Structure 1
Amino acid sequence: MAFDPDPQDPSHRLISDPGCQQLVGYDTRFDATGACRVTLEVGAQHLNRHGILHGGMVATVMDVVCGNTAAQYFDPEGHAAVVTVALNLSYIAATGPGPVTATAEATGGGKSTAHVTGELKDTEGQLLATATGIFRRIRKR
């Protein structure tokens, strides 16, 4: 799940969505190779009552990184429309406020279905969660 770490690189592509991305506040970028990275600056609004990152926020970030990776699997030059068929999460460690980063890679698929794995880590590289997902390509509306 390699990702060129220089977000100032002009070959990076930023994805901006008007809905959930604006509400949650994550950042989605692709590097020159098409690898996707989703970052979230975890703040008070992302925490559960125990003061740790809410599992629903983890699921959102993992769905975004895996879905965008599936879109690249189908169309590396553009951005294919995909929907999540299944997303399985494993919560490994808890974290509080601060940045987290999700990366993913396509592990296989076919004409209309892609299989993707993903990881969520904190700034020290500690693994917080893993995901496996199945994504279906759909027609853009």
Structure 2
Amino acid sequence: MESEIEHAAPAGFHPLVAGGEFIRVNGPLYLRHEGADVRFGLRVAARHCNPMGVLHGGMTASFCDMLIPLSVHRKHPELGRRFLPTISLQVDYLAPAPLGCWLEGTAELLRATRTLVFAQGLVTADGVPCARASGVFKIGPEFPDGLEP
């Protein structure tokens, strides 16, 4: 059983109550949203790690794939209720994220066309850059009532 410390988040972060079953199972994912400052976080637990005790590359990619569109939703109201499925995602792994570290990401919209979003993000592990990501996302339909991104 994981301890409370494994789920502790820094001040100002709150569990994200959205995103569907995938985030619930792979999280918990945390959010800090203060004006234009939107940050997502994750406490790296054993279930997120590879056999070497560092964040699995697949989990890093999954975090980036959640970070970028969820940030766009919160920073750009015109896209806030639109499904943004991933067309492409490029992740550069910069450094390991060890078990127990606080993973934190920020992202920004680079450009939105009528049908596409181009965005990028940076992820840190206890303040050290560990991943850089960029992606292209399709501007999909609006979420149904009652479903929050």
TM-score (structure 1 length as normaliser): 0.80
| Residue in structure 2 matched with residue 139 of structure 1 by the alignment | 141
Matches within 5 A, 1:104-123: 104-123=107-126
- The C-alpha deviation readout for 1:9-60, integer Å capped at 9, x for no partner, is xxx9944233111111132425243543221110111110111110011001
Identity %: 24
Question: How many Å separate the matches in 2 of 1:90 and 1:77?
Answer: 26
Cα root mean square deviation, aligned: 2.5
The one of 71, 75, 79 equivalent to 1:69 is 71
In structure 2, the CA distance between the partners of 1:90 and 1:31, relative to structure 1 (3 Å rule), is: same
Unaligned runs of 5+ in 1: none
Which has a greater percent of strand? 1
**Segments ≥4 residues shifted beyond 4 Å:** 12-15
Question: How many Å separate the matches in 2 of 1:77 and 1:96?
Answer: 34
Which has a greater percent of helix? 2
Q: How many residues were matched structurally?
A: 133
Which piece of structure 1 moves more, 73-82 or 54-63?
Answer: 73-82
Q: Is 1:7 matched with 2:12? A: yes
Unaligned runs of 5+ in 2: 1-9, 145-149
- The C-alpha deviation readout for 1:61-81, integer Å capped at 9, x for no partner, is 101111113334653584321
